[in-house]
């Protein structure tokens, strides 16, 4: 099979779209998304970005919901290695490309690293304007009034936006962008990121990017605090870490336990504690 | 242009049917269909609204794989069956599961059980190498687990809809608006999978306000219990394979002022996860207030959903346009001619 599955023209097209995306932070660049032997909606956007940029020298980490061992991560990792033979790793520091769904690793990524996020719904305006041509005009005019109205309506009724994950962010003071369904906790880590963040949406055929050291701000009113998920007072039952994004686990006796969501962070924390 | 008179239909139909048999039907046995095309068989049982794998496979054979037609065969047969009565309500928490997943939680009571599934198969049509490791041992114990949403429900975080006092039977009375909930669920449970999927899909793409999370998706076997007409005792009369899905929507203010999570429910005969998920999403969309300030929602309109998801109806009506329509078309042409005359005899 061809290296990285896709034919060279497809890779070239995806790389061109990616370069354009990096040049216009937060702007969604269309591309002719290819069918992959993995179902649409299962990470085919991120997968196409990864397959188009990966080389034999790369070291790859794939995570899904914070976990290297989760079924979809395993599946995607196996597919990529079966068509590239690249080395894989669970460690953030050792990876040159990290493909992720719904999380940004706890451990800060560095210059030269690439984070590829899988995106189900790239268009941040969909919930307030379903018509694609109108969305395009709104982006062109930087007209995000309807999003502000939504935010206002939610705030007046519920005290805060009802959006939990995929919270809209303003990128480089120009485009409002869907950051993929990462929790609010992660949203803040997009700001001024040292690593390049590439976002790929396969079904919706869009690629966009947050280049290193770009300003990324969640959309919020000046007099309102941006509240991220709160796990204060909780410690990971396995490694003892606190101050990270946690998984709630309801156990059989009705109790709720907390664990690090980022499993490789949990492993490293445990190792450093035992060392 | 003159019409050719449509006559001699009877002989033409006979010939057409024997030509169809010769052209489209091979010698596959219904048994082979049943064993090898199980999802097609399940889809037809569900849409045909009749739990019989045997008849479902016969229907697929008879319709040469045209599944809309196959469901039609089964529905038609159903009309010849007597209604015996109403079985006891099935609680899908009591399902003997072979697969149960929840995407809302990482770990759940009873665990994530992938069971038999090809979700994570790499779809390479020409892949020649089969899996190297073959696991042939599966547990044969019965597994029962409560819905993964139970803990949230116990905490009172989930909105509960009122139960119908009397359960509708849409095969006897097709309800008018406002539609009883039991009727809504019945209509969806035998709806056509593709139509339901399309409507559910609109809610995820801006024509609506549903952002579902799969709380509990399960396939397995449920007991069907019935009150014995003579002994009046409850007896198990059957076991049906089925799929159920509970999806979680978003938060919603309740009449009593509390704020709760909305959920939707999907259930169908046989193993059909896509359909059960679609149904659960439509259920959320129909019964939860919409906060969207964007375009109108299509799938939150009861009339829109309940009248457009039945495959037997929509397929039938769409195909009826193949019937001769020359009387009505003639009248349309007349209207056109009159209009032209009205406009000063335009040519």
Specify whether the CB–CB gap between B250 and B198 falls below 8 A: no
Q: Within 13 A of B71's CA, how many CA atoms are on the CB side?
A: 23
Q: Chain B contacts of A39, Cβ < 8 Å?
A: 119, 123
- pLDDT at B347 exceeding the cut of 70: no
Q: What is the pTM of this model?
A: 0.84
A44 and A99 both lie in a single domain? yes
Give B211-226 pLDDT, tens digit per residue.
899 999 999 999 999 9
Contacts of B169 (CB under 8 A, 6+ apart): B83, B86, B186
The pLDDT-based confidence of B306 (bands split at 50, 70, 90) is very high
Q: What is the reported pLDDT for B130?
A: 57
DSSP H/E element including B239: strand B234-253
> CA dist A245 to A184, A234, A262, A266, B271, Å?
10, 10, 7, 11, 36
CB B262 within 8 A of CB B248: yes
Task: Spot the catalytic one: A45, A66, A200, A239.
Answer: A239
Please tell me the total count of domains within chain B. Answer: 2
**Does A191 lie in the same domain as A102?**
yes
Closest CA relative to residue A169, chosen from A47, B241, A161, B235: A161
CA distance A194 to A144: 28
Pairing of strands A169-171, A175-177: antiparallel
Q: Choose the final residue of a domain: B46, B78, B110.
A: B78
Same domain, B223 and B278: yes
Asked if A45 and A118 count as a contact pair (C-beta separation under 8 A), the reply is yes
Quickly state the pLDDT bin for B10 (edges 50, 70, 90): confident
DSSP 8-class letter at B84: -
CB contact under 8 A, A130 and B291: no
Please report residues of A whose CB lies closer than 8 A to that of B147. none
HSE, side-chain direction, 13 A CA sphere, residue B224: 11
Q: Are A140 and A151 in contact (CB under 8 A)?
A: no
Asked, for residue B336, whether it belongs to a domain, the answer is no
pLDDT of res. B225: 97
How far apart, in whole angstroms, are the C-alpha atoms of residue A100 and residue B224?
44
**Which residues of chain B are within 8 Å of residue A127 when distances are taken between CB atoms?**
206, 209, 292, 294
Tens-digit pLDDT profile for residues B249-301: 988 888 899 999 999 999 999 999 999 999 999 999 999 876 555 557 889 99
Whether A188 is in a domain gets the answer: yes
State whether B205 and A126 contact (CB < 8 Å).
Answer: yes
CA dihedral over B245, B250, B254, B258, signed as positive or negative: positive
- pLDDT of A202 strictly over 70: yes
- Based on the fold, state whether residues B117 and B53 are members of the same structural domain: no
Where does the pLDDT of residue A133 fall: very low under 50, low under 70, confident under 90, or very high at 90 and above?
confident
Tell me if B238 is assigned to some domain. Answer: yes
Query: Is A67 a known active-site residue?
Result: no
d(CA A258, CA A272): 20
B180 burial via Cβ count (<10 Å: 0-12, 13-18, 19+): middle
Q: Is A260 a catalytic residue?
A: yes
- Residues A44-84: pLDDT tens digits? 999 999 999 999 999 999 999 999 998 889 999 999 999 99
The C-alpha of B331 sits at a distance from chain A's nearest C-alpha, in angstroms, of: 38
In this structure, what token pair is assigned to residue B318?
């769409």
Residue B124 within a domain: yes
Among the partner residues B122, B151, B206, nearest to A38 by beta-carbon distance: B122
Determine which of B206, B214, B261, B285 to mutate to test the interface with A (most A C-beta atoms within 10 Å): B206
Nearest chain B Cα distance for residue A249, angstroms = 6
The torsion of the CA quartet A21, A24, A28, A34, rounded to 10 degrees, works out to -20
Within a domain: residue B30?
yes
Partner A, chain B 148-177, Cβ-Cβ below 8 Å: 151
CB pair distance less than 8 Å for B122 and A126 = no
DSSP SS3 for B41: helix
Identify the domain boundary among B258, B273, B296. Answer: B296
Q: Is A260 part of a structural domain of the chain?
A: yes
pLDDT at residue number B2: 37
pLDDT category of residue B3 using cuts at 50, 70 and 90: very low
Residues B114 and B224 in one domain: yes
By the 8 A CB rule, do B110 and B100 touch?
Answer: yes
Residues B241, B287: one domain?
Answer: yes
Q: What pLDDT, on a 0 to 100 scale, did the predictor assign at position B6?
A: 46
Question: Tokens standing for A93?
Answer: 């520091």
Tens-place pLDDT, residues B36-54: 999 999 999 999 999 999 9
ipTM computed for the complex: 0.71
Q: What angle do CA A32, A176, B249 make, to 5 degrees?
A: 85
Instruction: Check whether residue A17 and residue A108 sit in a common domain.
Output: yes
Same domain, yes or no: B18 and B101: no
Chain centroid offset of residue A96 CA: 16
At A28, the pLDDT band (50, 70, 90 cuts) reads very high
User: Would you call A236 a catalytic residue per the annotation?
Assistant: yes
Whether residue A188 is found in the same domain as residue A59:
yes
Q: Are residues B70 and B96 in the same domain?
A: no
In chain B, what residues touch A251 (CB-CB under 8 Å)? 109
d(CA B63, CA B72): 9
Token pair, residue B102, equals: 């929840």
Q: Are residues B142 and B230 in the same domain?
A: yes
**Cβ contact A241:A269 at 8 Å:** yes
pLDDT-derived band at B4 (thresholds 50, 70, 90) equals very low
Please confirm whether the linkage preceding A188 is cis (ω < 30° from 0): no
Q: Answer yes or no: do A39 and B123 touch at CB < 8 A.
A: yes
- Is B5 a residue whose pLDDT tops 60? no
pLDDT confidence tier of residue B176, bands split at 50, 70 and 90:
confident
Residue A141 lies inside a defined structural domain of this protein = no
* Neighbour count for residue A3 (Cβ, 10 Å): 15
The verdict on A38 touching B (C-beta cutoff 8 Å) is yes
Q: Which of A27-41, A222-236, B22-36, B188-202 has the largest mean confidence?
A: B188-202
Angle at B96 between CA A65 and CA B149, to 5 degrees: 40
CB of B250 less than 8 A from some CB of A: yes
Q: What is the pLDDT of residue A250?
A: 83
Catalytic residue among A26, A46, A200, A202: A26
Please indicate, yes or no, whether residues A36 and A66 belong to a single structural domain of this protein: yes
Domain presence at residue A94 = yes
Cβ-nearest to B293 among A75, A150, A158: A150
| Contacts B204 to A, Cβ<8 Å | 121
Q: Residue B255 CA to chain centroid, in angstroms?
A: 31
What sign does the dihedral B170-B173-B177-B178 (CA atoms) show? negative
Higher per-residue confidence, B107 vs B90: B90
Q: Are residues B139 and B245 in the same domain?
A: yes
Say yes or no: B293 contacts chain A, CB-CB below 8 A. Answer: yes
Beta strands A114-118 and A196-201, pairing class: parallel
Smallest CA–CA distance, residue B66 to chain A, in Å, is 24
Could you tell me if A13 lies within 8 Å of chain B, comparing CB atoms? Answer: no
Instruction: Give the pair of three-digit tokens for residue B116.
Output: 């038999």
Q: How many CB atoms lie within 10 A of CB A41?
A: 14
B70 lies in the same domain as B98: no
In this model, does residue B8 exceed pLDDT 80?
no
Q: Does residue B9 register a pLDDT over 80?
A: no
How many angstroms separate the CA atoms of B182 and B242, rounded?
18
- How many Å separate Cα B269 from the centre of its chain? 9
Q: What is the CATH number of the domain that holds A60?
A: 3.40.50.11310
Residues B119 and B113: their CA atoms lie apart, in Å, by 13
Half-sphere CA count of A45, side-chain side, radius 13 A: 29
Contact status of B294 with chain A (Cβ, < 8 Å): yes
Quote the domain boundaries for residue A237: 230-275
* pLDDT exceeds cutoff 50 at B22: yes
B151/A250 touch (CB, cutoff 8 Å), yes or no: yes
Return the pLDDT at A76: 94
Question: A92-101, A122-131, B120-129, B252-261: which range is least confident on average?
Answer: B120-129
Q: Taking CB atoms and an 8 Å limit, are B122 and A72 in contact across chains?
A: no
Same domain for A197 and A236: no
- Is B132 near chain A, with CB under 8 Å? no
Kindly report the number of other CB atoms within 10 A of residue B109's CB atom.
18
Question: Is residue A163 in some structural domain?
Answer: no
Separation in Å, CA B275 to CA B46, B180, B190, B244: 10, 21, 10, 9
Q: Domain tally for chain A?
A: 2
A270: helix, coil or strand? helix
Residues A234 and A117 in one domain: no
Q: By mean pLDDT, which of A120-129, B54-63, B285-294 is the weakest?
A: B285-294
Q: Is the CB of residue B209 less than 8 Å away from at least one CB of chain A?
A: yes
B125 and B267 inside one domain: yes
- What does the pLDDT read at residue A98? 98
Its domain, for residue B101, covers 92-159+208-296
Burial code of B238-251, b = ≥16 C-beta within 10 A, e = fewer? Answer: eebbbbbbbbbbbb
Residue B243 lies in a domain: yes
Contact B144/B97 with Cβ under 8 angstroms?
A: yes
Mean pLDDT of A152-181: 93
Residues B143 and B64 in one domain: no
**Boundary residue ending a domain (B78, B101, B128):** B78
Tokens representing residue B203 in the block: 């809610």
- Asked whether the predicted pLDDT for residue B344 surpasses 60, the reply is yes
Is residue A67 classed as helix, strand or coil in its secondary structure?
Answer: strand
Question: Do both B65 and B131 map to the same domain?
Answer: no
Q: How confident is the model at residue B1 (pLDDT cuts 50, 70, 90)?
A: very low
Domain contains B332: no
């Amino acid at each position: 099979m061809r290296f990285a599955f896709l034919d060279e023209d497809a890779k070239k097209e995806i790389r061109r779209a990616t370069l354009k995306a990096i040049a216009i932070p937060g702007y969604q660049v269309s591309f002719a998304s290819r069918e992959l032997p993995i179902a649409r909606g299962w990470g085919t956007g991120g997968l196409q970005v990864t397959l188009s940029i990966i080389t034999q020298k790369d070291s790859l980490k794939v995570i899904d919901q914070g976990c290297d061992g989760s079924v979809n991560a395993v599946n995607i990792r196996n597919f990529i290695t079966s068509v590239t033979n690249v080395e894989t790793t669970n460690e953030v520091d050792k990876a040159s490309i990290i493909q992720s769904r719904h999380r940004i690793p706890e451990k800060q990524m560095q210059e030269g690293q690439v984070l590829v996020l899988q995106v189900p719904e790239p268009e941040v305006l969909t919930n307030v304007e379903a018509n694609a041509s109108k969305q395009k005009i709104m982006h062109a005019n930087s007209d995000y009034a309807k999003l502000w109205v939504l935010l206002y309506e939610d705030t007046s009724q519920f005290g805060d936006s009802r959006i939990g994950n995929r919270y809209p962010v303003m990128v480089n003071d120009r485009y409002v962008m869907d950051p993929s369904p990462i929790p609010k906790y992660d949203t803040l880590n997009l700001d001024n990121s040292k690593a390049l963040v590439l976002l790929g949406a396969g079904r919706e055929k869009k690629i966009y990017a947050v280049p290193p050291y770009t300003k990324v701000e969640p959309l919020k009113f000046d007099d309102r605090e941006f509240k991220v998920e709160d796990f204060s007072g909780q410690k990971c039952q396995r490694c003892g870490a606190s101050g990270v994004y946690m998984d709630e686990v309801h156990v059989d006796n009705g109790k709720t336990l907390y664990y690090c969501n980022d499993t490789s962070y949990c492993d490293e924390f445990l190792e450093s504690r035992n060392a | 242009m003159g019409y050719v008179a449509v006559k001699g239909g009877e002989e033409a139909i006979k010939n057409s049917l024997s030509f169809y048999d010769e052209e489209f039907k091979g010698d596959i046995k219904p048994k082979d269909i049943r064993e090898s095309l199980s999802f097609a068989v399940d889809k037809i049982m569900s849409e045909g609204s009749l739990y019989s794998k045997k008849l479902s496979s016969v229907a697929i054979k008879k319709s040469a794989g045209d599944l809309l037609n196959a469901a039609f065969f089964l529905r038609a047969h159903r009309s010849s069956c007597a209604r015996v009565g109403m079985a006891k309500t099935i609680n899908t928490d009591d399902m003997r599961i072979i697969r149960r997943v929840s995407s809302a939680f990482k770990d759940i009571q009873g665990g994530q059980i992938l069971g038999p599934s090809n979700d994570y198969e790499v779809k390479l049509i020409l892949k020649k190498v089969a899996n190297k490791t073959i696991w042939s041992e599966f547990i044969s114990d019965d597994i029962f687990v409560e819905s993964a949403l139970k803990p949230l429900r116990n905490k009172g975080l989930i909105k509960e809809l009122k139960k119908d006092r009397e359960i509708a039977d849409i095969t006897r009375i097709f309800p008018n608006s406002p539609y009883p909930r039991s009727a809504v669920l019945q209509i969806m449970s035998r709806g056509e999978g593709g139509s339901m999927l399309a409507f559910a899909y609109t809610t995820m793409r801006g024509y609506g306000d549903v952002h579902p999370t799969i709380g509990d998706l399960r396939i397995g076997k449920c007991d069907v219990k019935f009150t014995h007409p003579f002994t009046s005792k409850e007896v198990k009369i059957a076991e049906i394979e089925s799929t159920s899905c509970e999806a979680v929507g978003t938060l919603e203010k309740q009449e009593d002022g509390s704020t709760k999570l909305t959920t939707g429910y999907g259930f169908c005969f046989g193993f059909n996860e896509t359909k059960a998920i679609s149904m659960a999403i439509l259920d959320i969309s129909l019964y939860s207030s919409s906060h969207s300030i964007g375009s109108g929602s299509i799938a939150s309109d009861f009339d829109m959903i309940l009248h457009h998801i039945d495959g037997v109806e929509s397929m039938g009506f769409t195909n009826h346009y193949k019937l001769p329509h020359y009387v009505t078309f003639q009248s349309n042409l007349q209207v056109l001619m009159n209009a032209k005359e009205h406009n000063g005899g335009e040519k």
